[in-house]
Structure formats: structure tokens, C-alpha cells
């Protein structure tokens, strides 16, 4: 469910199939909504006008958007994601979410992945549903732009990622390699853990290493989305420089 003109527009621009659109009674008078509806109708999607007060009763938010749409999901498996082509010379970056429970956090991770040019996001069983309405809103449309996989248990998924040539780097608040010194010369999968407890201990044997963002004394940890942002853009920075193991380049 995509709520609001912005999300629907991003879905359209991303080539996603829109199945149906629901419009509040007063929204038809808005020129921007009217123009968007014309585009949607050209794709063959069904448009339903709602009577006054209906949107408020069925929407997920206290102050609902005047228009929402049902957008078809894309069925992508781990193998298909990892085999997608990338530009010549670029190192691939994939984010793997393990037990990430907060929909706002997962939405932010999707948004960061899209902005950093990641190859995709893998959401393992146990994490929040990426199609949760709050996740979709928090992604600001990135859920329609970045390749997304709903995967099985991480103990099964992570070996698949490694077999595809990715180095598995788990994130940890302390005790890992400094992210500025870590080797990023290969394709990398950043494995993000639960907001409170981090990555399960039993996954340590599956990982190729752990990475830490040094923080000021007395600071416990960063939010999972903030961690993803720092690490994703470090990978992107090194990709741009073409010197994966020269952190100061």
C-alpha cells in the first residue's frame, strides 16, 4: 500500500505496476492529484472514488493522505538479486537485515541503500515485513527503487550470499575492525542486526569479520539506520575514488 501522491509518483517512475488507486472525495479538486490520476489511468489501473470520511476510517495514519494505491510487489530471490549486473569496475554492496524489527528503521535502511547505490537489500525472516505501511512510508519511495528480497533464516541466507562472491561483514557496536581501515576490495554484504541486541552470536561463525564505527567515550551505540548510512557511504566513497583500500583517498 502506497499512501500519498509522492509514493505513488515514485512507484510510477520506477516502473512498478499499480493495481488500483483510492481517492478521497475532496482530492479530485487538487491539480497535482488530478494530473497524477490521469497518468495512473493511462497504465490501466483502476481508480475508485471514496465517499467523504471513508479514507479516514480505513487509512493506517491518524491524518491520512487523500490518495493511496495498491502496488504490485516484485518477487525476487537471493540468487536473482546477487546475479544482477553492475557497472564495470564497481564493487557490489548488499545490505542484509537480521532481526531488524522497527518498521521506521527498515524503511530508513531502504532509503539509505537506494541513495548509496547499493545493489539491493535482503530482509531475513524475523525482521519486520518490508511491505508494512510504516516501512513503505519511511522508505520515502526507495522500496520501489532498490531491489528487495524477503529471505529465509539468516543461517541459510548468508552462506548463499558468500557463495555469490560477497564478503560478509557484520556490524557491531564495539570490538570489530575500524570501518575506515576495513578491506573493501571485494563485493561486500553488510549484515545489520537487531536494534537492541545486535547480531545473534551463532552467526559469528558465518561472518568473515565484524566492523565497528568508533564513537566518543560514553556513547553506547548508533541507531541501525545511522550505522547503515555511515558504512554505505564509506563504500560508495571508495567506489567513486576507485581505491577500495585507501581510506584517506
Section 98-122 average pLDDT: 96
Lowest mean pLDDT among 48-52, 89-93, 163-167, 204-208: 89-93
Q: Is 207's pLDDT higher than 60?
A: yes
In this prediction, residue 219 has a pLDDT band, given cuts at 50, 70 and 90, of confident
The pLDDT of residue 146 is 95
Q: 14-27 burial, b if ≥16 CB within 10 A, otherwise e? A: eebebeebbbbeeb
Q: Is 249's pLDDT higher than 50?
A: no
The pLDDT of residue 179 is 95
The pLDDT of residue 87 is 65
* pTM for this prediction: 0.91
Q: Is 89's pLDDT higher than 90?
A: no
- Cα-flanking dihedrals φ and ψ of residue 92, to 5°? -80, 145
Section 194-218 average pLDDT: 92
In the chain, what's the furthest Cα-to-Cα distance?
Answer: 60
CB 98 within 8 A of CB 203: yes
Q: Vertex 227, ends 190 and 174: CA angle to 5°?
A: 85
- Cα-flanking dihedrals φ and ψ of residue 94, to 5°? -125, 140
Q: Is 243's pLDDT higher than 70?
A: no
The pLDDT of residue 244 is 54
pLDDT tens for 4-27 read 999 999 999 999 999 999 999 888
Section 206-234 average pLDDT: 92
More confident residue, 57 or 32: 32
Q: Is 241's pLDDT higher than 80?
A: no
108 closest CA partner among 150, 137, 70, 76:
137
For the chain, give the mean pLDDT. 91
Q: Is 247's pLDDT higher than 60?
A: no
246 closest CA partner among 154, 175, 166, 183:
183
The structural domains of the chain, ordered by start, are 2-71 (3.30.1330.30), 78-241 (3.40.1280.10)
More confident residue, 212 or 247: 212
The pLDDT of residue 127 is 96
CA dihedral of residues 142, 122, 181, 205 (deg, nearest 10): 160
Dist CA 186 CA 242 (whole Å): 12
Section 39-57 average pLDDT: 90
Section 197-205 average pLDDT: 92
Q: Tell me the three cell numbers of residue 177.
A: 575492525
Section 94-101 average pLDDT: 97
The pLDDT of residue 245 is 59
Amino acid at each position: 500500500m502506497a499512501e500519498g501522491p509522492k509514493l505513488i509518483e515514485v512507484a510510477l517512475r520506477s516502473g512498478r505496476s499499480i493495481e488500483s488507486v483510492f481517492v478521497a472525495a475532496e482530492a479530485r479538486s487538487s491539480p497535482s492529484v488530478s494530473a497524477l490520476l490521469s497518468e495512473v489511468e493511462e497504465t490501466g489501473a483502476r481508480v475508485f472514488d471514496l465517499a467523504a470520511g471513508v479514507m479516514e476510517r480505513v487509512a493506517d495514519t491518524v491524518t491520512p493522505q487523500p490518495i493511496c494505491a495498491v502496488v504490485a510487489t516484485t518477487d525476487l530471490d537471493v540468487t536473482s538479486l546477487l546475479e544482477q549486473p553492475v557497472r564495470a569496475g564497481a564493487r557490489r554492496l548488499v545490505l542484509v537485515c537480521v532481526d531488524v524489527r522497527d518498521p521506521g528503521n527498515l524503511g530508513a535502511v531502504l532509503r539509505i541503500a537506494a541513495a548509496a547505490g547499493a545493489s539491493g537489500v535482503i530482509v531475513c525472516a524475523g525482521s519486520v515485513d518490508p511491505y508494512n505501511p510504516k516501512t513503505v512510508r519511511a522508505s520515502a519511495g526507495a522500496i520501489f527503487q532498490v531491489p528487495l528480497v524477503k529471505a529465509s533464516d539468516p543461517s541459510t541466507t548468508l552462506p548463499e550470499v558468500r557463495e555469490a562472491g560477497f564478503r560478509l561483514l557484520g556490524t557491531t557496536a564495539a570490538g570489530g575492525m575500524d570501518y575506515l581501515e576495513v578491506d573493501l576490495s571485494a563485493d561486500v554484504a553488510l549484515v545489520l542486526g537487531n536494534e537492541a541486541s545486535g547480531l545473534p552470536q551463532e552467526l559469528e561463525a558465518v561472518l568473515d569479520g565484524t566492523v565497528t564505527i568508533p564513537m566518543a567515550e560514553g556513547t553506547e551505540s548508533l541507531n541501525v539506520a545511522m550505522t547503515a548510512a555511515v558504512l554505505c557511504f564509506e563504500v560508495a566513497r571508495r567506489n567513486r575514488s576507485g581505491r577500495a583500500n585507501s581510506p584517506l583517498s
